[in-house]
Amino acid sequence: MFQRKWAKHWREESVKAGLFLCATVSVLTTFAIVWILIREAGVFFQDVAVSDFLFGTQWTPLFDPRSFGVLPLVCGTFLIVAGTALIALPAGLATSIYLSEYASSQTRSILKPVLEVLAGIPTVVYGYFALTFVTPLLRAVFPEVQIFNAASASIVVGIMVLPMVASLCDDTLRAVPASLRQGAYAVGATPVEVTLGVVIPSSLSGIMAAFVLALSRAIGETMAVTLAAGATPKMTMDPFVGIQTMTAYIVQVSLGDTPAGGIAYQTIFAVSALLFVITLTMNIFSSHLLRKFREVYE
């Protein structure tokens, strides 16, 4: 009798231990990422001053004369993200308003799956779409658009990110209790006044969190920009020329397999580290927004 209880106990504990090990994989992953980035970027920063890297405006790590200022890549990423924000944020918010305030449940049942499909399309497909459809379209309207340009890529990334914004905002908007809306209707507000005056202000934190999350996704986007935006690092605000983002640079260097050692190898870690820090900050900021400013409804 005692024997069986012992066996039962040990089985329980070993299963628990096994599951605990599984859970540690995710923690180990984070530590691995951080450790590798620090270690390899550390090697890089022994040769290149941090201030040169962060504030330099010439990115030529592979040519003579070598220069390691990362700003052109950051500028390229920023240009793409700005374009994405211009498209995805207002459109995503408007879509979510439509979904939560205006749409019938029948419409919702069509629209929501469509948005899910849009979100599930792989990024390389969007890159292809940018290259073969959006760029020719842009060039038909604006002939001076180059074949690799930032506008194409940001339009397409905007489409990719829009469902994410729409779905997150939709959840937030629906969380606003009906009583607030009804109170506004009761004093004679029109639907748009209810939305803009009551619902949105009370779900502002959730909306902002969704925006930040979507932009963080756009920053990390790789394949669409690699295919469509080009490989020329430059400091420019012109959306019609080719640029290079941080992610596209990393892909360019790894086009085969990056051999170990050498300054080229180290640059991908420096740029990855920067990318990781930026997206991590934005993700933490986003969840912070959600927690600290969440309206408490009774």
Partner 1 sequence: MISRSLTYRYWFARIFHGFCFVVAWAGVVILGILLFHVTCEGIQWFDLQFLSNFPSRFPEKAGIHSALFGTLWLMGFTALFSVPIGIGSGLYLEEFMHKNRFSRFIDLNISNLAGVPSIVYGMLGLVIFVRWFGLEQSVLAGSMTMSLLILPVIIISTREALRSVPNTIRQAAFALGTTRWQTTYAHVLPAALPGILTGIILALSRAIGETAPLVMIGALTYVAFTPEGPMDDFTALPIQIFNWASRPQQEFHELAAAGILVLLLALLMMNSIAVYIRHKSEKRNP
Partner 2 sequence: MNRLLLYFALSTVLLLSIGEISFAGGLKGKVRVDGSSTVFPITEAVAEEFQKKNRRVRVTVGISGTGGGFKKFSAGQTDINDASRPIKDSERKKAKDNGVGFIELPVAYDGLSVVINPNNDFVDYLTVTELRKIWQPGSTVKYWSDVRPEWPKRPITLYGPGADSGTFDYFTKTINGKSQASRPDFTASEDDNVLVMGVSGDKNALGYFGYAYYRENQAKLKVVPIDGGTGPITPSEKTINDGSYRPLSRPIFIYISKPGSKRPEVKAFVRFYLAQASELVKEVGYISLPDKSYQLASDQFEKWLKGSLISGNSSDMEIKKVALK
- Within residues 155-184, the interface with partner 2 by CB under 8 A covers none
Give which of partner 1, partner 2, none residue 65 binds (C-beta under 5 to 8 Å, depending on kind): partner 2
Give which of partner 2, partner 1, none residue 26 binds (C-beta under 5 to 8 Å, depending on kind): partner 1
CB 92 within 8 A of CB 119: no
Q: Give, as one character, the DSSP assignment of residue 259.
A: P
Token reading at 95? 């879509």
Give yes or no for residue 141 binding partner 2 (CB under 8 A): no
Give yes or no for residue 252 binding partner 2 (CB under 8 A): yes
CA-to-CA distance for 291 and 40, rounded, in angstroms? 34
Give yes or no for residue 18 binding partner 1 (CB under 8 A): yes
CB 136 within 8 A of CB 146: no
Give which of partner 2, partner 1, none residue 12 binds (C-beta under 5 to 8 Å, depending on kind): partner 1
Give yes or no for residue 140 binding partner 2 (CB under 8 A): no
Give yes or no for residue 115 binding partner 1 (CB under 8 A): yes
**What x-and-dash track marks residues 221-250 binding partner 2 by CB under 8 A?**
---------xxx-x-------x--------
Token reading at 169? 């905002």
For the segment 152-191, give every residue that binds partner 1 (CB under 8 A).
159, 162-163, 166, 189-191
CA-to-CA distance for 250 and 201, rounded, in angstroms? 40
CA-to-CA distance for 286 and 217, rounded, in angstroms? 12
For the segment 38-77, give every residue that binds partner 2 (CB under 8 A).
58-60, 62-65, 67
Which amino acid is present at 217? R
Q: Which residues have CB under 8 Å from 134's CB, separation 6+?
A: 152, 155, 156, 228
- CB < 8 Å & 24+ apart, contacts of 30-33: 33/276
Q: Give me the residues that bind partner 2 (CB under 8 A), please.
A: 58-60, 62-65, 67, 139, 146-148, 230-232, 234, 242, 252, 255-259, 262, 264
